[in-house]
Structure 1
Amino acid sequence: MNFTQSFRLAVKSLIASKMRALLTMLGIIIGVAAVIVITSLGNGMQNYMNRQFDQLGANLIQVQIWGLGGMSSRTVDPDDMYALVDKYPQYLSGVSPYVMTQGIVRRGADDYTRTSVYGVSEFFYNAQRNQVLSGSQLGEGRFLSYIDVERHQNVCVIGSYLAQDAFGGDALGRSITINGTPFTVIGVMAEYADSTEGSSDDVIFIPYGNAMQLNGSGWVDLYLFNSADKDTANLAKGIIESRLYQTFQTEDAYYAMSSAEMMDAMDAMLNTLMMILILIAAISLLVGGIGIMNIMLVSVTERTREIGIRKSLGAKRRDIRSQFIIEAGTTSAIGGAIGIVLGILMANVLTNIIAFALGTGNDGFVAIPTLGGIAVSFGVSVGVGILFGYLPANKAARLNPIDALRYD
């Protein structure tokens, strides 16, 4: 009996007992669908994060400084960081202090308790790309200038949510108060997230010196540097670390990381998480394989007389073995195909749900299964069926034809 005949018999056997076949495939279907969904989400998230880092630029270097504690006089301030940029213009193109502050934001009688207030310098905005270092773009007006920052002027740039909710879309030149201090709106950021309360569009950018006054802090713990180009990012990072070590005499007082390093770290974490989740999903494939083996053992018992007749007519052990292996492989292959279709549908549904939650629309998060992932999932499902179908097939092949014919 050739492969085509064995395949037809396998399909005929599955059609004859549809419910049992479906229950047999269930573990394979769930396992394959889970693997497809996990790999799709992982690839989608990886692409989404890479696009976010690309928007920030490959030259960005974040420096976190926590110092040596209150008992030490060793510290650095924004002037030290500006001096470092001026000293090495061939490696560093600019720096912006980044001060996160809490404040009561009010417009008239309305309070905005979830609005994020950030203190930055004029370097936080790149005029050529019309984009701030956090990724969003300027929609109206202008961003903070050197004079605004140097003179601690009470001006601000607000997000699209505040522009609409607090000012009805007409915010330029009007005032909003932060901790009772009025700030004049000089710019409005374009919509970046979903323009809802607490989102990335619910923000205010003010000069970092004003932010330090609002939160009562005398120093900055976070700086955003830009290297002159992406090829000198590692050298620029080394220069910054050398300057900080010169002050603190220990590497435990600060931490510096470039965009490339952040992207690599995030990719490594995501790949590890995906591998763990795929291994968990593979348990369903294992359960599905055990289910196939169990049903095939039952099938061998039910068809013992048929096996005896075939052997008496000249069928060899390899013919019987191949028939049952092909039947097990066909069962798992059909289950794998159903699982692939189900996984693709679930990935598309989750794409819409996550894109809506992130407020990114069709240009944001997209979880699309790769052909490689689909091929591997299908191959593994067929392999599981063949592997777990071998024991029942071998049992059928070893049956004594006389005992099989007498079986009732």
Structure 2
Amino acid sequence: MNVRRRSSATALAAIAVIGVAAPAVAADPSPSTSASGPSGLYGSADPQFDGVWRQSLALLAQDTAGVVPSPKAVKWLTDQQCDNGGFAPFRADPAKACDAKTMVDTNSTAAAVQALWAVGGHGDVVESALAWLKSVQNKDGGWGYTPGGPSEANSTSVVIGALTATETDPEKVRKAGESPYDALLASALPCAEDGGAFGYPDQDGKLLANADATAAGVLGALGKGLVTEAGEKAGGAGCTDADEPTREQAAANGAAYLADALAKDGHLKSALGGSAEQPDYGNTADAVVALAAQGGADKAAKPLAWLEKNAAKWAEGSGPAAYAQLILAAHATGADPRAFGGTDLVEKLNATGPAPQGAAAKDTATASAKAADEDEKKDDSGFGVWWFVGVCLVFGIGIGFLLSGRNKKQQP
């Protein structure tokens, strides 16, 4: 799901390569502001195209890692909402009402819903955002990036994630009798021609096999959001065609496509702007999440190992969304995000924005238990040891007196 959340230059390059229409330059035309000030935004890069997206991912990643986000960071996100319930990628002046030039989009809105639901306490914002998403649902049951745009797997899947995260059954969110799953399955491509991938439409509307859309489509077909855990372990069955595949079969086919694409190098590749193919870290992280969700952590072991070995430098240069993607990949596979190839991803993410409040209650309890254990160990190795020695000395002295008394009694 990287196309919609890259910087402007990268996004335009991606559009040129895969031939999709630009997402309406998805941003408020207002000048951007620095993220390094007291705004509460994570990251210092220009937020014009991805401010809400990366903030949402950062909050989600912190929540999965047991971190209570900064109220300032949460407020930054809630302040970005327009009165109609939708979110644009970034609004430089949230006090200014949204107008026709404010390019709200489904991806920013659905990501914000998932993040704010996770941190809790913002039911009114979430309900308003969900109402907006339902109001712009297409007649085929799906969503495009912008309201009225053709439905595609990426956007439909991230909205499905927002619905299921908020305990809303996507099957019941219908337009003209069609559900989001109906629209998503329409993007599932056959095995014989495209290996079971989910497609993304080109300028002519033709669906082209796309790893980014496939990773998103697998999660959407399973009814999963941006945050998920490993599913039940599945066998290594390949792609299987069917006239009308079920959601589960479409997800399995998509996973087979991703596994095949990852088989050689352990990572996906991209060639933006006509450049030579380069490792695609973000899509590889998304593929890890999708594979783990569909068939268990073992299915994602190879690309996860590659990320652990190679992704730290990429994340350092890319910012909070990259750290968040890796944390979500670690969460999906049961890996430790605080020891990810020798990097504490959580600490690195926290350092890109306002300091979090602290650890969640369950993690605080765990920390307290660990501290108690350490204290007990210290007692055992410190005071406890000397107490034991003292008892032994007293006991020894007592024995000495006892033996001395006996000796005296035995003397003639």
More strand by share: 1
Regarding TM over 0.5, the answer is no
The TM-score normalised by the length of structure 2 is 0.28
Which entry has the higher C-alpha Rg, 1 or 2? Answer: 1
Q: Which fold has the larger relative contact order, with Cα–Cα distance below 8 Å and residues 6 or more apart in sequence?
A: 1
TM-score by length of 1: 0.28
